[in-house]
Structure 1
Amino acid sequence: MPLTPEVLTANDEVVAWLGSLDVSFAPDDETWFTIDGIESPRQIGSDGAGGAFVLLPSQNVLYVSSEGRAGIIAENFEAFVQLAIARPYWLDILKFSAGGDLAEMRRAADALEATLDDEDDVNEAREEIRAALDLPDANDPVSALYDAVAASDVIVRATDGSPFTTLFNRFSIDSNPMLRDAAA
């Protein structure tokens, strides 16, 4: 049986563990964006930065940041949960992607993993969620994230009609001394 938001949210312990990885399944009732071609987007959750996770009719998971960036981040809900477990700092991987360079994203993922705060807590959350949901490890989550964002053709708009930009950002880990040192 595929993993769905309903199956996941029925397990309070898993919801709490995912919350420790900055994924909340309490959607925002206030609509602050629109998606071209989708009448009523199904927001399934949010993150601590004010971003929204939306399950599209295609079953892709879309992320809409509160800062005007948006894109598909996973091919389905299960892939989204696997991404959140494997790389809870996935948004930072995109921030330090050097405009969408897969090799740079891999460097960022390695550096971010090396600098994790509360690594034991993150690893415990990963193990508990995988065990409770009987989820396998994600197969190359950085590549899957890159593929999803690169192929994203969804147009998200602010309430004033202006389109959101891609989730790929122009920074690289070389522009951040802490990450640059972690990658060395």
Structure 2
Amino acid sequence: MPLTPEVLTTNSEVIAWLGSLDVSFAPDDEPWFTIDGVESPRQIGGNGAGGAFVLLPSQNVLYVSSEGRAGIIADTFEAFVQLVAARPYWLDILKFSAGGDLEEMRRAASALEATLDDEDEVNEAREEIRRGLDLPEADDPVCALYEAVAASNAIVRATDGCPFTTLFNRFSVDSNPMLRNAAA
């Protein structure tokens, strides 16, 4: 049986572990964006930065940031959970992607992994999420994230009609001294 939000919400322990990785499954009731061609977006949750996770009719998972960026981040809900477990700092990988460069994203992932604050807690959360859902480890989560965002064709708009921009940001690992040192 494929992993769905309905299946996941029956597992409170996994929900709590995902919460420790900054993913909440309490959707925002107040609509603050629209998606072209999607009548009633199904917001399934959010994160501490005020962003929203939306399950599209295609079953892709779309992330809408509170800062005007949006894009598909996973092909399926299961791939989304695998991404969060494998790379809980996936949003920072996109921030330091140098405009969507896969090799820079891999470099960012490696540097971010090296700078984890609570590495033991994160690793425990990863293991418990995978075990609790009988979920295999993602093969290449950074490449999957890159491909999903690069192919994203969802047009998200603020309530004033302004379109959101891509999730790929212009920063590189070298833009951040801590990451630059970790990558060296």
Which category of TM-score, normalised to the shorter sequence, fits these structures? over 0.9
Structure 1 residue 126 displacement after superposition = 0.5
Matched with 1:125 is 125
Residue 86 (structure 1) aligns with? 86
- What is the identity percentage for the equivalent residue pairs of Structure 1 and Structure 2? 86
Q: Distance in 2 between matches of 1:86 and 1:9?
A: 20
- 1:62 match: 62
Gaps of 5+ in 2: none
Q: Offset of 1:77 from its aligned partner?
A: 0.1
Amino acid at match of 1:79: A
TM-score scaled by length of structure 2: 1.00
Across the two proteins, how many residue pairs are aligned to each other? 184
The 5 Å alignment of 1:133-148 reads 133-148=133-148
Q: d(CA) in 2 for partners of 1:85 and 1:5?
A: 15
Residue correspondence of structure 1 range 9-158 to structure 2 within 5 A: 9-158=9-158
Q: CA deviation at 1:63?
A: 0.1
> Which structure 1 segments of 5+ residues have no match?
none
Runs of 4+ in 1 over 2 A off after TM superposition: none
Deviation at 1:50, TM superposition (A): 0.2
Query: 1: distance between equivalents of 2:137 and 2:15?
Result: 18
The offset of 1:179, in angstroms, is 0.1
Shift of 1:29: 0.3
TM-score by length of 1: 1.00
Please provide the CA RMSD for this pair: 0.3
Q: Report matched runs for 1:166-177 at 5 Å.
A: 166-177=166-177
Partner letter of residue 54 of structure 2? V
What amino acid does structure 2 have at the position aligned with 1:182?
Answer: A
Question: Which residue does 2:161 correspond to in 1?
Answer: 161
SS in 1 for 2:97: coil
* Counterpart-to-counterpart distance in 1, 2:24 and 2:117: 19
Cα displacement (A) at 1:38:
0.4
Q: Any idea what the Cα deviations from partners look like across 1:65-123, whole Å, max 9, x if unmatched?
A: 00000000000000000000000000000000000000000000000000001000000
Name the CA distance, whole Å, in 1 between partners of 2:38 and 2:21.
29
Partner letter of residue 76 of structure 1? T
Q: Secondary structure at the match of 2:148?
A: helix
